[in-house]
Homo-oligomer: A and B are copies of this chain.
Amino acid sequence: MRFLVAGALLACLPAQAQPVHSPEVAADRTVTFRLMAPAAHEVNLAGEFMKGSKPLEKNAQGLWSVTVGPLEPEIYNYNFTIDGVKTIDPNDPAVKTGSTPSTIQSILEVRADRPSFYDAQPVPHGEIRTHWYESKSLKTTRRLTVYTPPGYDHNAGTHYPVLYLFHGANADETAWTRLGHVNLILDNLLAVSKSKPFLVVMPFGYGVPPGSANPIAGGNTAAFGRDLLEDVIPFVESHYRAYTDRDHRAIAGLSMGGGQSLSIGLNHLELFSYVGGFSAGIRTAEFQQNYGAFVADPQKANQKLHLLWLGCGTDDSLFPASESLSKMLDDAKIKHIFKKSDGAHTWINWRRYLNEFAPLLF
């Protein structure tokens, strides 16, 4: 009997007989990555905690390993390349997934001595709700993720402002919760009264199939925009106690979703009064088309917009585009914040931008 039970459970275990501990974070925050691969010729590590890649070294048993760091406490993505095949660390249960294979990576969490702004803390918690809705504009069933702040269920008389928050290319409507920790960041801000309570609505950002076209070119934004304006917003405002005026609506996104939030938000000042673009996926060649009408009327822009917030890391290859947009806004005398941060095109920055952006809303 014992044998049969053990057989059933072991059937799920990887081929390696011995469990391999990877990644292992030591007390000094150095991190050791390991892989049992006696037949492999070359194993490399790449990750958001380093530039380029680093080879692992093989011991006599075929166990490859490398140690990096010490690393700053943070949540990092990384991957192995095993004899030319880029893949995850098969011994790490934390896997980043999305809507295309290019998003797949392993996740390393290096904890600080004290909880970080994105960690679960013993404070009142909001909820994450997942809806399946019929998109009339896109003629399909889609998923929608909504954060409700602590107490939402028990404050029957209270209405809430809404932040529409978009993910990047290759991701999906779960990215801001699973990778962005949006609920924990907002729970923690609320617990110290640094932010007002508001709903966060996170739709699926593809109006065309993921991978079918350049995701930051205009076609996808147009299709996604129809779903947002014709399906998502009406769904939210009929299901939640949401304010329905522009003063209580914000729109923001990262990468592809930053291009969407800027393009849709700045061209719909009748709907939105707070606009954010995090490491926005924007192209200077399309500036005139996307923002021409907006910058042509700076008086209206400054009067209508309570906040226009741009952020980008100087190591991000999209940095020059954000800088050019900021300069275009400066030239037109349109008030905005341009947060020029360290770092690259990573969730490290997007969590931090959200933590900085949220207290400025509503």
Interface residues of A (CB under 8 A from B): 1-2, 4-5, 7-9, 11-16, 19, 35-42, 81-88, 90-95, 97-104, 120-122, 125, 127-134, 141, 153, 169-170, 177, 183-184, 187, 211, 214-216, 239, 255, 281, 283-285, 316-318, 320-321, 345
Contacts and interface: CB of A to CB of B under 8 A. Distances in A.
Contacts of A85: 15, 35-37, 40, 82, 90
Nearest to A4: B317
Contact of A104 (B40, B90, B345): B90
Copy tally for this chain in the complex stands at 2
A149 to B, nearest CB: 12
A7 B315 CA distance: 12
A187 B75 CA distance: 36
B93 A95 contact: no
26 contacts: A1-B283, A1-B320, A1-B321, A4-B318, A4-B320, A5-B283, A5-B317, A5-B318, A8-B317, A8-B318, A9-B216, A11-B345, A12-B169, A12-B170, A15-B86, A40-B83, A40-B85, A82-B87, A86-B90, A87-B87, A88-B90, A88-B104, A93-B100, A95-B104, A127-B131, A132-B184
A170 B9 CA distance: 9
Given A4-B318, A127-B130, A321-B5, A98 B93 contact: yes
A317 B11 contact: yes
A129 B144 CA distance: 12
B127 A129 contact: yes
A134 B122 contact: yes
Nearest to A43: B85
A130 B284 CA distance: 40
Contact of A95 (B40, B95, B211, B283): B95
Contacts of A98: 93
A275 B254 CA distance: 46
A82 B39 CA distance: 9
A13 B81 CA distance: 13
Contacts of A283: 1-2, 5
